[in-house]
Amino acid sequence: MEAASLWAGVRFTARNGSPEALLTDAAGQGLHLYGISSLPGGFCAHCAAWQYRRLAALARHRRVRLRVEKRIGLYFLLRPLLQRKGLWAGLVAWGLVLVWLQGFIWAVDYGSLTTGQRARAGAVLRSCGLQPGTAVTEELLRCGEYALLESGEFSWASLNFEKGRLAVEAAPAHARPEIAAGTLHGLRAKCNGTVLRTNLASGTMLVAPGQTVEAGQGLIGTARSERDGTLIFAPAAGTVVAQLEWQTDQSVPLAETMPQLTGKNTTNYKLFFAEHSAALPPSAPDGDGLYRTRHLQLEVFGLPLPCAVEETTYYGQQQETMYRTEAQALTLARLQGLRALHDAFPDAEIFARREECTVQEDALHYHAVYTVAADICT
């Protein structure tokens, strides 16, 4: 019976009267006493708290004086809290608030999407108003699904919401097959060159390796003739890699005024909840500067909260004049030339480069001629 004292038990003393008769009566009534020890004129014992009243009635009959020395158990520790009505009213109110907040987004689960896909999907959903702290409706879910599909990032998307959790299920979009991406108007050369190799996916190849072509000349056609003269049409798709010369001109100033970071930065926070927002101090200074924004999920001991925080960091800038040496300007001009080449021919393979540079009027003028092999179809 000692386990009864874990919830509620009492330790008492019994003196005067007939203590021996009280022990006999308690045993006869099924009252279990434990930890009994003798005292001058009586005894000390323990019993469950709910049996003490029956034991006291027997003690009065035997003229034994009982005195409670100590109350033991969890019940007596919690009883002061159980008597505080405000505490229980607060717990009930908090429970009702939690039930109401089940209709808000607490966390967003992106499933198996990659880190980049999660970031892009999160940006699309935020543009529709779907973020932690937003009350979810069927209309918002449909709007979010359409926005994910219209972004071009995903070929299929589904949003499911249950008890504060928004689950995003999406399949990434794949590029169309090469033949399906062909054109019905044929492929022509975007510049002059000498054909090195060809790769026909669909249509009719009109040139062969070693042949010289001019800008605008047809490379892949959309029709071919059968033995009986019947024309068969198919989309023109494929590549024609040719050797060509491509040139670029770049000018890089030796002294240029541009914004530079000062080392000062300020971070602002904006809290979003239930379609309302509140800016938290400090505020970003006015003026030119560099801003970087990211969105955070508030958590308490790993539990996400139904609100979103937007963090905007401002980096101070000021205009300064930067001076370059001729070697630095030449390196920058070469980089700009390579970027221009990549924009014109992303798959270009460089065979040779001829370059000239002159310095006039505090600027380096760069001229380069590249001999490259690239796909010239357009």
User: Following DSSP, what letter does each residue of 227-262 receive, concatenated?
Assistant: TTS-EEE--BEEEEEEEEEEEEEEEEESEEEEEEEE
- 48: containing domain: 2-78
Domain count for the chain: 4
Residue 62 lies in a domain: yes
What is the identity of the amino acid at 321? T
> 10 and 72 share a domain?
yes
pLDDT value of residue 1: 47
- Which of 63, 78, 93 is the last residue before a domain boundary? 78
Quick check: is 177 in a domain?
no
Looking at the domain assignment, is residue 367 inside a domain?
A: no
Residues 216 and 271 in one domain: no
pLDDT, tens digit, for every residue of 277-322? 888 876 666 666 788 999 998 888 888 889 999 999 999 888 999 9
Let me know whether 229 and 191 are in one domain: yes
Domain boundary among 322, 346, 369: 322
Residues 19 and 67 grouped into a single domain: yes
On whether residue 96 sits in a domain, the answer given is no
Residue 303: inside a domain: yes
pTM of full prediction above 0.85 = no
> Which of the listed residues 322, 357, 373 is the one where a domain comes to its end?
322
204 and 153 in a common domain: no
Quick one: pLDDT at residue 352?
A: 97
CA–CA separation, 340 and 251 (whole Å)? 13
Domain CATH for 145: 3.10.20.310
Q: Categorize the per-residue pLDDT at 179 as very low, low, confident or very high, splitting at 50, 70 and 90.
A: low
Pair 68, 40 in one domain: yes
With respect to residue 355, please indicate whether it lies within any of the assigned structural domains: no
12 and 55 both lie in a single domain: yes
| 368 inside domain | no
Question: What are residue 66's DSSP bridge partners?
Answer: 14
For residue 314, being part of any structural domain is answered with yes
Q: Are residues 265 and 232 in the same domain?
A: no
Query: 207 pLDDT exceeds 50?
Result: yes
Between residues 225 and 18, the one the model is more confident about? 18
For 70-109, the DSSP string reads EEESHHHHHHHHHT-HHHHHHHHHHHHHHHHHTTB--EEE
pLDDT tens, residue by residue, 313-362: 999 888 999 999 999 999 999 999 999 999 999 999 999 999 999 999 89
The encoded tokens of residue 239 equal: 């590549």
Q: Are residues 262 and 284 in the same domain?
A: yes
Backbone phi and psi for residue 102, each to the nearest 5 degrees, phi listed first = -65, -20
From 253, 220, 258, select the one nearest 326 (Cα to Cα): 253
Same domain, 67 and 114: no
Domain CATH number, residue 48: 3.30.70.340
- 12 and 68, same domain (yes or no): yes
